[in-house]
A and B are shown apart, each in its own frame.
Chain A
Amino acid sequence: MSETAVLSIDRVSKHFGGIVAVKDMTFEVQAGEVLGLMGPNGAGKTTLLNIIAGTYSPSSGRVHFCGRDITGLPAHKLCHLGIARTYQIPQPFTSLSARQNILVATEYGGKKAAGMEHDKIFDLVNLSEQKDMPARDLATVSLKRLELARALASNPTLILLDEIAAGSTDAELPRILGIIEEIHKMGKTVVLVEHVMKVMVEAVDRIIVIDKGEKIAEGTPGEVMKDEKVIAAYFG
């Protein structure tokens, strides 16, 4: 494992009964890097995020975060250590206002150095006008932004973004790219799962392509798109 790696996945596998969701996965994410995870539906991308964020423990293999073995640690401890995630399908605290939603993350997110002010976070994700609304009254687009806001509120080192652009119109994409750029500029490390190609190609430094739980390609966006295995996985 190299010294600058924020995240290191070492031969990680995850089985659910007889089904193999992730198989013998190995990769590293360097500090400040934006890594994209790509693959057809059911490839194991979200399972991988769930393993990194502590929702699942891997069936085998180790996960290191900033040099520390975090395999099998519960989700709240990983949040305290500096890993935050968004959910593909927004999972807000429905009875709380948007502001209280992210207050949970700042109050319980651990004793790290103070992060961004709430107002700045809301400005960044473009949710300022709805911050006092109960989350149950927010539209899906706003809930996706709230996911981002909450992830930022715990002031993470590593942020896992699960399809934040899914369902967005083309007109909204520049804004999402801008947000990822901002997060990147803050020096945070990002792992991005995305189906929207424009986001993938423009936002990430490196892509790992997964199919049926296995890594089939790795490289810059340009390299990966030309890879025969990737083309085969997507277009059969």
Chain B
Amino acid sequence: MKIPRLTTLVPVVILVLLALFPLIGIPLNWLNYLFSFFIYLALATMWNLLAGYTGLIMLCPHAFVGLAGYTMAIGTWVGVPFQAGLIAGAAVAALFALLISYPVFRMKGIYFAIGTLVLPEALKAWFSFWRPVGTAYQGGGAGYAVAGVAGFTLGDKYWLALAIAAVSIFVVHIILRARLGLGLTAIRDNENTAASSGVNIFRLKLSSFLIAAFIMGIAGAAYYIHNPRIQPTSGFNISWLLLPLMATVIGGEGIEEGPIIGAAIVTFLRFLLADYGAWSLFIQGIILVVVVVVMPQGIAGLLRQVGAYRLPLRLFKAAEAKIHKT
């Protein structure tokens, strides 16, 4: 029998342990926190794919979250079950990404960033008066409840979010080790040289943009299964941008484990500071500034720099050698 490598085994073991949590009766609050963590993790991992590996400072995750959430919510009122709506929402987010790709990819650097930043604002305005189905559910307004999610337990939602986060990490892991990852890194490092080496810049940027939009959409829609009421001000809220951005920058941009560390910190801070309202953002902002100044490559970058992974890796290798001997 072939013994799997420990570096493969460890993530699988962690995944299985996390999947067991709802079954062993851990406090419901924990499941709630972890649910948020998984959603933020999926968003941050995708934001890192764009900003860290493709060089696209994309500032419209809230467009994808809002569109996917709205698609799913509206769908539940016209007979589409939320499970199908989840996929449909992600598809709509990806379709939106496809539609805007031609104009926004004509802009570079900071212009691309600003070009993407205005889109969710436009969508927010649109969804504030557009009401395709049904009557206002609470005396007017443009919000929608997500119907038919009552039977979906917290455990189910937790597993869904865990699966989305795991898939997002796995997708980036595969991309980085494939031809696509090489091309994306080339684009990030130097667009001109990439083009003259035969890289079709538009097509590669579009690939990572569509993947990110789809997974951000599905993560956003999953959030609205758990919090089954969407409004323009929540779906298209700028915090859907700030969370993955902070998680990625604090954790380490362009580093695979960066968003994992960052998302954990951002989730922790969010619940720790939940009672302090506006102060919460202020404190998070200060932390962001300190991280950028003290560790420009984020926490994961610092860990790599000081060689924090050397000891565990050496232990892994030693253990592996031992297993193979017996």
Q: Does A74 contact B (CB under 8 A)?
A: yes
Contact B182 A94 (CB under 8 A): no
Q: Does B113 contact A (CB under 8 A)?
A: no
Chain A residues 52 to 103 lying within 8 A of chain B, measured CB to CB, are 53-55, 74-76, 78-80, 84-85, 87, 91-96, 100, 103
Q: Does B193 contact A (CB under 8 A)?
A: yes
Q: Does B103 contact A (CB under 8 A)?
A: no
Q: Does B186 contact A (CB under 8 A)?
A: yes
Distance between Cα atoms of A108 and B200 in the complex (Å): 8
Q: Does B195 contact A (CB under 8 A)?
A: yes
Residues on the A chain within 8 Å of B188, using CB: 95
Fill in one digit per residue for B235-256: 1 if any A CB lies within 8 Å of its CB, else 0. 0000000000000000000100
Distance between Cα atoms of A55 and B196 in the complex (Å): 8
Residues on the A chain within 8 Å of B193, using CB: 87, 91-93, 150
- Looking at chain B's contact residues, is the secondary structure mostly helix, strand, loop, or mixed? helix
Q: Does B75 contact A (CB under 8 A)?
A: no
Contact A107 B182 (CB under 8 A): yes
Distance between Cα atoms of A107 and B194 in the complex (Å): 11
Chain A residues 19 to 62 lying within 8 A of chain B, measured CB to CB, are 53-55
Chain B residues 287 to 312 lying within 8 A of chain A, measured CB to CB, are none
Chain B residues 185 to 228 lying within 8 A of chain A, measured CB to CB, are 185-186, 188-190, 192-201
* Number of chain B residues close to chain A: CB under 8 A: 19
Contact A76 B200 (CB under 8 A): yes
| Interface core residue of B185, B186, B196, B199 (most chain A CB under 10 Å) | B196
B108 to chain A, nearest CB (A): 14
B272 to chain A, nearest CB (A): 35
B40 to chain A, nearest CB (A): 26
From B179, B182, B189, B195, A76 is in contact (CB under 8 Å) with B195
Contact A94 B197 (CB under 8 A): no
Closest to B53 in A: A95
Closest to A160 in B: B196
A12 to chain B, nearest CB (A): 19
Distance between Cα atoms of A118 and B25 in the complex (Å): 57
| Interface core residue of A53, A54, A95, A154 (most chain B CB under 10 Å) | A95
Query: Given A55-B192, A91-B193, A108 and B185 touching (CB < 8 A)?
Result: no
Distance between Cα atoms of A95 and B193 in the complex (Å): 13
Closest to A90 in B: B193
Q: Does B183 contact A (CB under 8 A)?
A: yes
Extra inter-chain contacts (18) besides given A55-B196, A93-B186, A108-B200, CB under 8 Å: A54-B196, A75-B192, A76-B199, A79-B197, A93-B185, A93-B193, A94-B190, A95-B185, A95-B189, A96-B185, A96-B186, A104-B183, A104-B186, A104-B194, A108-B198, A109-B197, A150-B197, A154-B198
Chain A interfacial positions (CB closer than 8 Å to B): 53-55, 74-76, 78-80, 84-85, 87, 91-96, 100, 103-105, 107-110, 150, 153-154
